[in-house]
A and B are shown apart, each in its own frame.
Chain A
């Protein structure tokens, strides 16, 4: 780890100010950034910790029924406090990483990082959630722009995420045996207006929606509705843990299981 300056503002306003420095980098729970810095693969001049900002933490319900999660809320808190409102999301949060990761890592940090195998991006996309930042609101469909790339601007902070609560939902994660990240993860969420299906871990483009499945499931919310669909292996990740064809195959298997578990 190289030497760096450290700031811990207590308000969003102060954090935004601190991040105007070109050398500054926001620090959420540090579950990706700190190991990267330890390996000397990242060298921010200043770390601006967001963990002192009370207004960015917590889980509540908005007037329109949406589940609102502060950007600095840990996975463990979501797992516990969202369980009665949005069990599909709480279940996803409960299985991210290990207890240390869940108690340090934050939803805002995970989304800003947009690891192609992370779980939260899948939930945000499947829920059609809205990302609230210090300066604007971004729809899930506009937020994820490929592996480790998002619509966030330099210094922009995710302050809150608003999830419309589905009628039924489920997340199926098939783990990569070493890292236990999602080799493939599929989230299915059923809303009055239709079903959304998001996939993580599989595509070289990062998290994506499986629109054919959404259409089929919106007509008939049953695993059997997926029977005749196939997922192309084109553009899927291939590595020692699974070929592109294997990942494409798993998407369909897991989507079916998610529907069965949700229905």
Chain B
């Protein structure tokens, strides 16, 4: 496949056509789940727990049931014998034991375990009636002490979130366990050990569109349909059908139409989806739920929430010798779909970063607390790995008196493939190239002048640089199966060529902002040599797409795109056979270029449309050799992860009187391998950086000690806005193509969110240290108040 050839290309791979889907999104003509109004649909309101932990002694729904418009009020008792919300990944701990896996009922049974845990569901003609009736329900809930702090939760005698588990410890994972003693010894004997304790702050994803579910049931055919805001409708169909409601796939359709952002939190199967599907079957009427923003804060899975101690052993001359980490990872009150995999396989396997550290040991203790479940959020495990590694390297450089960039370069992996001590093999990369590019686009040589200029205005200035690597293009099924995944992670595509030559690609990937409807056709157009407008992408409906695993983990182009390429290759092979027949030539001599099949060395040719028409009107057609029609499906299972990497630089200015940090410059040099649409890739990086800067400076999900969510609205949960960010300088011209997928692509969706938090924190620490403050770390988010407080305590200038 050709490489990105820059802006001069106007079509196919490497061109930047504008996103075709944006026309409907920006003109209010998208069709989101809440736009789906089925005739006679009932509305559901969930009565949710307002305490973090409590025993349900009684639920009196009598008065509420008599309220106007109420059809039925469901409680946990209605789900006796119905499956619970399943977890999709089982972790085996360092002692060979499987993780503790609590039940997760659709509606609370016996106990409530976090603020927002659904207790009752009121189904009524209108939403207002459902809310009115919910207020008439009399709950008798005995509030219990809540466990919020992870380290307290795992102490002996701590209140248990789940009475039937032995403790609040979900698992105690060691990786690579066989390395444990060797790592301990290397750290004991090291010239120098840099230690850092840090928090990776808990976040709430906040997609623009809140979650919505509409359940429908057709008694005539016994078929259920769920319309839902999902990143992976097939996964929801399998989990909900097989594990919760007992509906076989051929009687269950899941549709995820236009979805307004996911960022991971719409991967998971949620109770509200199962409820609406279940209630629609019970009541034989459609049932609709649309989350309020307040509900989203207390029911969407949260992200991050790690507390980590990391130690890096370094030789006198700056060679990394060993790395040891100990992390407490919050699971919340129940195990969300992929929660156990995030702090383990998506985190521990990344701890080598871009560096040749020979010995690594990662310990993760996953803990249940009386908080909303925590699961994957843009980057999922990899930002947590990158943050601690790049922060400890920065600290080590300062302790050793070395330049942070030089220390990194000294330890870069330079030969590929490279097998890390944490069980993954990087296929390609060139970390010096991205660092060189970064130094150029960030104008690092001009920093001193900018520093002087800031000083003149009474401001501090700092520079933070870091690298990142991520494992995405998730994932080889046989590998993840060994690691505890209860799913395969291939992707699928059906390429349907119509009689007159137009093409529909039905993909198992799902676009909820990524621009697949634009970028996927570029690949097909390039392969066949036709105009992109002849290609349409269909996704998001289990009824008309092959079984696919959806979009997360920067996997769509690397895995879904590869499936599409494989299917298109089958199409081209078959079309060549048809063309050979039409031109009475040998199949081996047929060439496809610019939408035309020609016979090599002759002027004979037939157009794409001639061949596609022949496939469906097979009058002059080799029926004895090949079937009519032109439609092919492929399932692509990658044989490795992909490993995008890059180098990021952030320059901040800091107001010493108030502690306020402003991002003045931000540069990102990424290696995503080959690139389909450079404009879309830049947009993905921009969005990722905005989220990473949000985490670093502004965002924090905060619970009080009783488990009340203090950041329950945008009045207290700070989202980054456009004026919090500078113009970004992004570059993805360093390209080491992936060696194992047909497009040579690596994926770009999460990079910005992975690479940017350490750059920001490194920059703030740099600014403070240049001003004489003895500050080696401040926990995110670096709000003005936190920075100012740290400055007061450090006693610098």
A interface with B by C-beta (< 8 Å): 1, 39-40, 174, 177-179, 240-243, 245-246, 249-250, 253
**A241-B783 in contact (CB<8A):** yes
8 A-B pairs with the lowest CB-CB distances in the bound complex, closest first: A178-B718, A177-B718, A242-B785, A179-B715, A253-B657, A246-B785, A178-B716, A177-B698
Q: Which of B131, B785, B792 has the most CB of A within 10 A?
A: B785
Please provide the chain B residues from 34 to 51 with a CB less than 8 Å away from any CB of chain A in the complex: none
Q: What bracket does the count of chain B residues touching chain A fall in?
A: 20 to 34
**B789-A178 in contact (CB<8A):** no
In terms of DSSP, what is the predominant structure of the interface of chain A? loop
**B785-A241 in contact (CB<8A):** yes
A180 to chain B, nearest CB (A): 9
**B785-A253 in contact (CB<8A):** no
Please report the C-alpha to C-alpha distance between residue A215 and residue B660 in the assembled complex, in whole angstroms: 29
User: Please, which residues of chain A bring their CB within 8 A of the CB of B702?
Assistant: 240
B25 CB–A CB distance under 8 Å = no
Please report the C-alpha to C-alpha distance between residue A245 and residue B657 in the assembled complex, in whole angstroms: 13
User: Please, which residues of chain A bring their CB within 8 A of the CB of B698?
Assistant: 177-178
Q: List 28 A-B contacts (CB under 8 A).
A: A39-B294, A40-B131, A174-B658, A174-B660, A174-B784, A177-B698, A177-B783, A178-B698, A178-B711, A178-B714, A178-B717, A178-B719, A179-B714, A179-B715, A179-B716, A240-B700, A240-B702, A240-B710, A241-B783, A242-B784, A242-B785, A245-B792, A246-B785, A246-B788, A246-B789, A249-B788, A250-B658, A253-B657
Please report the C-alpha to C-alpha distance between residue A52 and residue B792 in the assembled complex, in whole angstroms: 52
User: Please, which residues of chain A bring their CB within 8 A of the CB of B789?
Assistant: 243, 246
Please report the C-alpha to C-alpha distance between residue A179 and residue B716 in the assembled complex, in whole angstroms: 6
Name B131's closest neighbour in chain A (CB-CB).
Answer: A40
Please report the C-alpha to C-alpha distance between residue A246 and residue B714 in the assembled complex, in whole angstroms: 22
B353 to chain A, nearest CB (A): 30
Q: Among A174, A240, A245, A249, point to the contact of B716 (Cβ < 8 A).
A: A240
Please report the C-alpha to C-alpha distance between residue A177 and residue B294 in the assembled complex, in whole angstroms: 19
> Known pairs A177-B698, A241-B716. 14 more at Cβ < 8 A?
A40-B131, A174-B784, A178-B711, A178-B717, A178-B719, A179-B715, A240-B702, A240-B710, A241-B783, A242-B784, A243-B785, A246-B788, A246-B789, A250-B658
User: Please, which residues of chain B bring their CB within 8 A of the CB of A249?
Assistant: 788
User: Please, which residues of chain A bring their CB within 8 A of the CB of B715?
Assistant: 178-179
Please provide the chain B residues from 578 to 601 with a CB less than 8 Å away from any CB of chain A in the complex: none
Please report the C-alpha to C-alpha distance between residue A39 and residue B713 in the assembled complex, in whole angstroms: 12
B564 to chain A, nearest CB (A): 42
A31 to chain B, nearest CB (A): 13
Name B785's closest neighbour in chain A (CB-CB).
Answer: A242
User: Please, which residues of chain A bring their CB within 8 A of the CB of B131?
Assistant: 40
Please provide the chain B residues from 669 to 720 with a CB less than 8 Å away from any CB of chain A in the complex: 698, 700, 702, 710-711, 714-719
A87 to chain B, nearest CB (A): 22
Please report the C-alpha to C-alpha distance between residue A119 and residue B718 in the assembled complex, in whole angstroms: 20
User: Please, which residues of chain B bring their CB within 8 A of the CB of A1?
Assistant: 128
Name A246's closest neighbour in chain B (CB-CB).
Answer: B785
User: Please, which residues of chain B bring their CB within 8 A of the CB of A245?
Assistant: 792
Please report the C-alpha to C-alpha distance between residue A251 and residue B710 in the assembled complex, in whole angstroms: 25
B290 to chain A, nearest CB (A): 14
User: Please, which residues of chain A bring their CB within 8 A of the CB of B783?
Assistant: 177, 241
A174 to chain B, nearest CB (A): 6
A45 to chain B, nearest CB (A): 16
B51 to chain A, nearest CB (A): 19
A226 to chain B, nearest CB (A): 12
Please report the C-alpha to C-alpha distance between residue A253 and residue B458 in the assembled complex, in whole angstroms: 13
Please report the C-alpha to C-alpha distance between residue A243 and residue B128 in the assembled complex, in whole angstroms: 40
User: Please, which residues of chain B bring their CB within 8 A of the CB of A253?
Assistant: 657-658
B431 to chain A, nearest CB (A): 34
